[in-house]
């Protein structure tokens, strides 16, 4: 660095500004020259500059300074010419802000540009001509053109030298603006006859190092007899002009007088400024009216100093100055600049979270430049003013809820206090990102569904649905079957739930006769982190299907013996022969049973009650009727399609057992051999040869045992199987099974067959026939059945 650098840091704790840094550098420094270590001076780490995406924000300083995030330093981006940047303004400085994000911060930086002596003093004209009367009095003043040095301070204009100094000397007169008027004063009378033309060299020297200078040639023509110079009525004139006044407006008028007459008394007015004044103002050479020839802008120049010259034709002159003050009008709208903003904010953001940082500028002054900013009402945001002028922060003012509003269009309006007031606005669009703050909600508080039994496994029963007010992944609902059991069995072996669609499928085929309904819980869980969930109760009701045929309980069909019902020949019409008892494990109309006589030896003799299954005579029994009657009864349920069962009822029409015996001996009978006998036979065949004789003895013994058992049955009373179950009573109902009945299956110790035991009514007539028996059948009436004896040997 070519010059000295000074640094001071002012830490602030209010608003969005956290620090202010000032540097000083020389103009004309090469590109990439170091300005200062901004990270060190602000107490920041370079990684904070990287993570915060540090950048430079500047409205009017141009691209002169750049920020190196990796090193944390400010560098010269473009060569800075102080004269082009600030002209004569001192001090000359660049003002910008360093912006950081996450969290949002900014720091104000000022870089002062120090002048170097890189511009020599210059004169607008290389030559200046004077016509001076030889009668000019000693002490006469002649205003010379000032030299202009674009540098400032010590590098600016230091002094003037005039050579040769025989007739004239220089006189400098200080002005209120700090500049000096250069006057050439006559020290010795002129004599045209001795010297008609005088050439002088005016040299302007600055105070820089190395020292620089500029020259102007002054040519003087000595005239005769004009010994009075023009004189202005005032040395300083003042006037005002409103900015944006139209061109041609007369700003003011200056007056000068000359005591001479004729051509020597004719005055000509001119502007001797060499700066921007000549582009804005002009003067009428004859009457001294100063006219506006260009637009004036208060924000660019608040006042002008016009240096005027009055000269006669004899070359005598006088000078004055006209101060023109520019009056401001409210002609600039506030300018809104977005320094940094967030396009998306989480709905879970805390109150006072900074969303956008705004800088507002109004180029007007006074009341016209005072700005107030506000946003549209009824929004959960507020606009806060920073301690730094014209800086605002848009922050959250209350909690956000994406489900109520997922986007906000925030209009920031800034108005000045001018008359009439001018305003400007900008609309900021802010998206609200979702937070998982809503659990899934089922459409119903509980569900009931029906499924017909004997369904196919995998059948879809119905669908549960839950909705989540959140968005995207937070609203993605998955369905989970909660662990529970039904009758001690995990519910997952009954149903399953599709995780994506909520469809409930049957895992197994249901049987209404085993389970009529069950319930379980389904959990709906979203995809947020952490996930939220809710439960619902689902009840499945099994609907019955006609999948079971009727089962005949009585009469019992036995393959080993024939059961016959006896009807005396004296039986009257309507005599109750027997009753077919059947049940259907289905329910509802599927269990409604009807009885029909399918086949009969004599259809004209018997009928079956449609609802109760009672078999009765429909006419008087005669001697011509056959003793052996065979009835086939079909039992049907009321299902669709209906199912049925058949039972064969043997009826003996006789008054005594011997009469019946001969008729029933030819019934087909399948002899049953005991499973133990088969076991013994197989075991005997497996025994070694020396046990063969023993096996023969065993076989013969078994045969003898069976023969003895048959003889015992033949000589004993015939077993009676009751017609009605115990506690039978006819209620004359129309149901399928109107009677209370009890039955049990008994197995005796060491028996090879099942014995059935029924209670009976005291007036029953039942026959049990063994076709192998040749003895006389006996009728048993009101006597204890052999089956009621616990030790009965009957198989």
Q: What is the DSSP string of 197-245?
A: EEEEEEEEEE-SSS--EEEEEEEEEEESS-----EES-SEEEEEEETTP
- Reported as a pLDDT band with limits 50, 70 and 90, residue 558 is low
DSSP characters over 68-134: ETTTTEEEE-S---HHHHHTT-SSEEEEEEEEETTTTEEEEEEEEEEP-S----B-S-SEEEEEEET
Q: Is 439 a residue whose pLDDT tops 90?
A: yes
What is the pLDDT averaged over residues 564-574? 84
Work out the pLDDT band at 9, boundaries 50, 70, 90: very low
The yes-or-no verdict on residue 642 having pLDDT over 80 is yes
Q: Which pLDDT value is given to residue 44?
A: 86
Non-local CB neighbours of 201 within 8 Å, separated by 6+ positions: 162, 163, 215, 216, 217, 218
Q: Which residues contact 172 (CB under 8 A, 6 or more apart)?
A: 160, 180, 181, 182, 183
Closest by CA to 65, choosing from 89, 118, 119, 29, is 29
Distance CA 301, CA 150 (A): 18
Q: pLDDT at position 233, please?
A: 93
Q: 741 pLDDT exceeds 60?
A: no
Mean pLDDT of the chain, nearest integer: 80
Q: Check residue 284 and give its pLDDT.
A: 93
At residue 751, does pLDDT exceed 50?
no
How much is the pLDDT for 783? 33
pLDDT on residue 559: 57
Query: What is the chain's length?
Result: 795
At 754, the pLDDT band (50, 70, 90 cuts) reads very low
Instruction: Mean pLDDT check: name the lowest of 202-206, 426-430, 521-525, 560-564.
Output: 560-564
Residue 308 has a pLDDT of 93
Q: What is the pLDDT of residue 474?
A: 87
pLDDT class for 289, splitting at 50, 70, 90?
very high
pLDDT of residue 234: 93
Q: If you ran DSSP here, which 8-state letter would residue 148 be given?
A: B
Mean pLDDT value across residues 610-622: 87
R_g of the chain computed on alpha carbons: 65
Query: Is pLDDT of 465 > 90?
Result: yes
Average pLDDT over residues 52-77: 85
Q: Tell me, what's the pLDDT at 433? A: 87
Euclidean distance between CA atoms 736 and 734, whole angstroms: 7
Residue 270: pLDDT above 70? yes
Q: Is 180 exposed, middle or buried (0-12, 13-18, 19+ CB in 10 A)?
A: middle
The contacts of residue 132 (CB under 8 Å, 6+ apart) are 140, 142, 186, 190, 220, 221, 222, 223, 315, 316
Predicted confidence (pLDDT) at residue 14 exceeds the cutoff of 50: no
Contacts by 270-274, CB closer than 8 A, 24 or more apart: 270/308, 270/309, 270/311, 271/306, 271/307, 271/308, 271/309, 272/143, 272/145, 272/307, 272/308, 272/309, 272/319, 273/305, 273/306, 273/307, 274/124, 274/145, 274/146, 274/148
Query: Are the beta carbons of 565 and 648 closer than 8 angstroms?
Result: no
CA-based diameter of the chain, in Å?
199
Residue 363 to residue 332: CA distance in whole angstroms: 6
Give the model's pLDDT for residue 91: 86
Task: Tell me: pLDDT of 8 over 70.
Answer: no
Q: What sign has the CA pseudo-torsion 711, 714, 718, 721?
A: positive
Residue that wins the pLDDT comparison between 292 and 718: 292
| Overall average pLDDT of the 115-131 stretch | 87
Is pLDDT above 70 for 736?
A: no
Which of helix, strand or coil describes residue 692?
Answer: helix
pLDDT of residue 767: 41
Confidence of residue 605 (pLDDT cuts 50, 70, 90): confident
Q: What is the pLDDT of residue 655?
A: 78
pLDDT value of position 239: 93
Is the pLDDT at 352 greater than 60? The verdict is: yes
The per-residue pLDDT for 660 is 66
pLDDT at 622: 83
CB-CB contact of 660 with 767 (8 Å): yes
Q: What percent of the chain has pLDDT over 90?
A: 24
CA angle 183, 185, 190 (to 5 degrees): 140
Note the pLDDT tens digit of each residue in 370-381: 898 999 888 899
Please state the rounded mean pLDDT for residues 668-695: 61
Q: What is the CA angle 706-711-714, rounded to 5?
A: 130
Query: 181-195 burial string, b = 16+ CB within 10 Å, else e?
Result: bbbbebeeebeeeee
| pLDDT of the residue at 712 | 67
Q: Is the pLDDT of residue 407 over 50?
A: yes
690 vs 594, which has greater pLDDT?
Answer: 594
Residue 725 scores a pLDDT above 60: no
- Tens digits of residue pLDDT in 257-267: 987 777 778 89
CA distance 247 to 235: 26
Q: Cα–Cα distance between 437 and 528 in angstroms, integer?
A: 9
Q: What is the pLDDT of residues 293-329, one digit of tens each?
A: 999 988 888 899 999 999 988 788 999 999 999 988 8
Q: Inform me whether the pLDDT recorded for 630 exceeds 70.
A: yes
User: pLDDT tens digits for 476-499?
Assistant: 999 999 999 888 899 999 999 999
DSSP for 495-522, please give it.
EEE-TTT-EEEESS---TTT-SEEEEEE
* Contact status, residue 559 vs residue 673, Cβ threshold 8 Å: no
Kindly write down the DSSP assignment for every residue of 401-442, as one continuous string: -TTT-SEEEEEEEEEESSSS--EEEEEEEEEEEP-S----EE
Question: Does pLDDT of 12 surpass 60?
Answer: no
β-bridge mates for residue 733, sequence order: none
What's the pTM value of the predicted model, to 2 decimals? 0.48
């Amino acid at each position: 660095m070519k010059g000295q650098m000074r640094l001071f840091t002012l830490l602030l704790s209010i608003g969005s500004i956290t620090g202010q840094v000032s540097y000083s550098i020389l103009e004309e420094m090469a590109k990439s020259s170091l300005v200062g270590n901004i990270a060190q001076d602000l107490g920041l780490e370079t990684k904070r500059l990287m993570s915060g995406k540090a950048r430079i924000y500047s409205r009017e300083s141009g691209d002169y300074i750049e920020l190196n995030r990796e090193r944390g330093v400010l560098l010269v981006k473009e060569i800075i010419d102080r004269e082009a940047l600030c002209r004569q303004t001192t001090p000359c400085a660049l003002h910008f802000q360093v912006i950081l994000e996450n969290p949002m911060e900014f720091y104000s930086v000022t870089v002062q540009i120090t002048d170097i002596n890189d511009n020599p003093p210059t004169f607008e004209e290389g030559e200046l001509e004077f016509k001076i009367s030889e009668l000019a009095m000693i002490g006469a003043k002649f205003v010379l053109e000032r030299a202009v040095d674009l540098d400032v301070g010590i590098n600016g204009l230091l002094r003037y030298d005039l050579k040769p100094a025989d007739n004239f000397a220089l006189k400098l007169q200080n002005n209120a603006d700090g500049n000096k008027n250069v006057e050439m004063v006559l020290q010795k009378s002129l004599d045209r006859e001795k010297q008609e033309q005088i050439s002088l060299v005016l040299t302007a020297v600055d105070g820089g190092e190395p020292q620089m200078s500029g020259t102007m040639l002054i040519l003087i023509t000595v005239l005769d007899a004009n010994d009075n110079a023009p004189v202005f009525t005032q040395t300083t004139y003042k006037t005002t002009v409103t900015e944006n006044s139209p061109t041609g407006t007369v700003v003011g008028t200056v007056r000068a007088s000359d005591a001479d007459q004729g051509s020597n008394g004719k005055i000509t007015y001119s502007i001797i400024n060499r700066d921007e004044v000549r582009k804005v103002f002009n003067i009428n050479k004859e009457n001294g009216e100063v006219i506006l020839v260009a637009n004036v802008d208060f924000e660019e120049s608040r006042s002008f100093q016009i240096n005027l010259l009055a000269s006669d034709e004899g070359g005598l002159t006088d000078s004055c100055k006209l101060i023109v003050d520019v009056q401001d009008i409210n002609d600039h709208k506030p300018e809104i600049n977005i320094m940094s903003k967030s396009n998306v904010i989480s709905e879970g953001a805390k109150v006072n979270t900074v969303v956008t940082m705004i800088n507002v500028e109004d180029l007007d002054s006074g009341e016209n430049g005072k700005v107030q900013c506000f946003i549209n009402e009824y929004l959960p945001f507020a606009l806060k003013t920073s301690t730094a002028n014209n800086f605002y922060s848009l922050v959250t003012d209350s909690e956000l809820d994406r489900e109520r509003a997922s986007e906000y269009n925030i209009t920031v309006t800034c108005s000045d206090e001018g008359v009439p007031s001018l305003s400007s606005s900008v609309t900021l669009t802010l998206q609200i990102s979702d937070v998982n703050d809503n659990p899934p909600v089922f459409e119903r508080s509980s569900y009931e569904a029906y499924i017909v039994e004997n369904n196919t496994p995998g059948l879809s029963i119905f669908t549960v649905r839950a909705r989540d007010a959140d968005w995207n992944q937070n609203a993605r609902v998955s369905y989970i079957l909660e662990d529970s059991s039904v009758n001690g069995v995990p519910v997952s072996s009954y149903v399953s739930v599709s995780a994506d669609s909520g469809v409930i499928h049957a895992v197994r085929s249901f049987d209404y006769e085993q389970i009529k309904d069950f319930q379980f819980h389904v959990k709906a869980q979203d995809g947020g982190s952490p996930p939220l969930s809710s439960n619902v109760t689902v009840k499945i009701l099994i609907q019955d299907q006609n999948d079971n045929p009727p089962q005949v309980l009585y009469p019992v069909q036995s393959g080993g013996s024939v059961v016959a019902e006896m009807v005396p020949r004296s039986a009257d019409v309507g005599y109750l022969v027997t009753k077919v008892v059947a049940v259907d494990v289905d329910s509802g109309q599927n269990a409604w049973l009807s009885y029909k006589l399918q086949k009969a030896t004599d259809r004209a003799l018997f009928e079956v009650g449609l609802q109760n299954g009672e078999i009765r005579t429909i006419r008087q029994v005669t001697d011509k009727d056959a003793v052996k009657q065979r009835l086939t009864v079909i039992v049907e349920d009321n299902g669709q399609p209906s199912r049925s069962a058949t039972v064969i009822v043997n009826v003996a029409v006789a008054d005594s057992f011997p009469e019946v015996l001969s008729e029933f001996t030819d019934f087909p009978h399948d002899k049953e051999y005991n499973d133990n006998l088969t076991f013994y036979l197989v075991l005997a065949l497996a025994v070694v040869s020396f046990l063969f004789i023993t096996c023969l003895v065993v076989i013969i013994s078994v045969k003898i045992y069976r023969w003895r058992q048959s003889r015992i049955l033949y000589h004993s009373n015939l077993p009676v199987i009751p017609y009605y179950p115990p506690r039978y009573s006819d209620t004359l109902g129309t149901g399928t099974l109107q009677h209370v009945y009890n039955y049990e299956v008994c197995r005796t110790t060491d028996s090879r067959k099942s014995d059935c035991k029924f209670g009976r009514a005291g007036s029953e007539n039942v026959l049990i026939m063994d076709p192998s028996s040749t003895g006389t059948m006996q009728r048993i009436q009101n006597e204890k059945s052999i089956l009621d004896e616990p030790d009965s040997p009957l198989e």
